[in-house]
Structure 1
């Protein structure tokens, strides 16, 4: 799971930290041309990914999160961030979305990462949405935990009703509370006890983005050089971006995410026609509403306001 506002809201530390962060940035082969690739549209599209690799979690963290030590390579979070002349838009693609994965037939969209890593996932998203992905960013379980823990008092999240999910480790009463990194990860991973399942989880992922933005812009971070450097180091270490992305591109993305967290732009989930459909060999999947999804992605391609109720 991962929510890639992270590094981008703390670069207020000045040129020295900017250069330092650029040197530490990790890159991954995520973008490539192929026959039939969608043409570039207006504006910029980022694919934001949270991998559910738990290989670097400590035994205590695995116990608290109720996860094993298997080398899972799926993705818990898949979002498309778009920005251009209009306000930014953030679209969640639920991990159980049933779409064609090039070379593998129709599968859950998160399996594309396991099948072929970032490059196949990016191609799968491009083919399913008709959007050309310009930039890619990824963070893993441990990265999210460490970033939240680097903030003063973690993040503040509010629940309208209790959230208890034995499979994620979530056990929170209704109301607002401060969460550390392990708790925040349990909060966004929970889906089996949520009546909305994966659709409920993607909403919590977007709420966590807002909470991270608040934590990153806290005066206790921005006005404390030592904490600022710590947050920046942990955030950059948590990220992997495409080969051509640098700090300038991350600043643009960070500004768009900050605007979203502040209430500008729109956030939504790709329209779903039928959730919880059982498919042999795939289990329970989500089927997109083809007409609604087409209108949504056409708006992004033309840099128009997206048709959404803004279900943050």
Structure 2
């Protein structure tokens, strides 16, 4: 008898499966999404906060300085000349108690003309206090007599007549201010290559301790005032005064000062108590002055104009400093144009 076809033969039951059970397959679980991190967003947020804090700090400093600065009528109102010009004056007034003696009144103990020409060149010219000049309304005399006769305004007008520049800002510092500013930056390092024991200024300098020494405010003041024991007189004193200011400026704009709020506060307090400025000067103007001062110092464009004699006797005023008739006008012309070279300054 023939066998039935294989397809008709019963076989073992197939194992159960989801498809055989007439059920739909479960959809796969969605993959777990990892949280994305945005480190750059955090960096940006931190930078925004830091910038906001710096901006607030700067705004506070500007307001604090502008509100505390002592002011005086000083500018002549003359037509502007190209560039920016600051007249920096050291007063020998004893009113602040830094020096105690029988000297009365006040004179301009040091006079510095800081100019930034339109082309960017910055120069710092020391005008010896005994420089013989024509003082408007008073005739020929020593330049510091202008301060005695008519205060800052007459001194500014006298300097403008001598140099052909209009003074944009006036800055005056007393002897006590020099001392406090030096102490505010933690002292400075200055140099002198000969021994001194000067009774008038109080400077005692012993080169056995080094030609360059760290000094505090009191000694820095004596160092910048000393004249009679200097063989070059006012010329040497002007050099030391520029050295003191340059050292203070360098420390004032150093990284350690710019990153320390406490040092900034100390410097602001000392500066606003020490400085007297014109009515229009602001903290921004003082900041630009510091940068111009540093630029002139770094470039070596500092010193006195050409001098014909340190012992000029015009009569009635004692010995004066006489500028060169021929080269001094050319010097001030180059100063205005921003074409000065180190060789243009007095070489004596």
**TM-score of the aligned structures, taking structure 2 as reference length:** 0.77
- The answer as to 2:116 corresponding to 1:72 is no
Unaligned stretches of 5+ residues in structure 2: 1-54
Give the counterpart of 2:326 among 285, 291, 296.
Answer: 291
Aligned position for 1:251: 287
Helix, strand or coil at the partner of 2:62: helix
Aligned pair 1:47/2:109, yes or no?
no
Aligned pairs for 1:2-13 (under 5 A) are: none
Q: Is the 8 A contact 1:267 1:311 kept in 2?
A: no
Q: CA deviation at 1:14?
A: 2.5
**Count of residue correspondences:** 289
The residue aligned with 1:19 is 63
Choose from 306, 310, 329 the match for 1:271: 306
Deviations 1:22-44 (A, max 9, x none): 111222111124xxx5x543211
Q: 2:241 aligns with which of 205, 214, 226?
A: 205
Equivalent in the alignment of 1:93: 127
* Offset of residue 12 of structure 1: 12
Other-structure match for 1:7: none
In structure 1, what is the equivalent of residue 46 of structure 2? none
- Structure 1, unmatched stretches of 5+, are 1-10
Distance 1:299 1:186, change over 3 A: same
Contact 1:55 1:70 in 2 (8 A): no
Distance in structure 2 (CA, Å) of the matches to 1:311 and 1:232? 35
Please state which structure has a larger fraction of its residues in strand. 1
- Cα distance change, pair 86–217 in 1 and its aligned pair in 2 (3 A): closer
Give the CA deviation at 1:265. Answer: 5.7
Moved runs in structure 1, 4+ residues, more than 6 A? none
What secondary structure, in the 3-state scheme, does the structure 2 residue paired with 1:283 have?
A: coil
Which is greater in Rg?
Answer: 2
Taking structure 1 as the reference length, the TM-score comes to: 0.86
RMSD: 2.2
Corresponding residue for residue 11 of structure 2: none
Residue among 301, 305, 308 paired with 2:340: 305
Q: Distance in 1 between matches of 2:345 and 2:306?
A: 12
Instruction: Give the C-alpha shift of residue 307 in structure 1.
Output: 6.1
Contact kept? 1:109, 1:124, Cα under 8 Å: yes
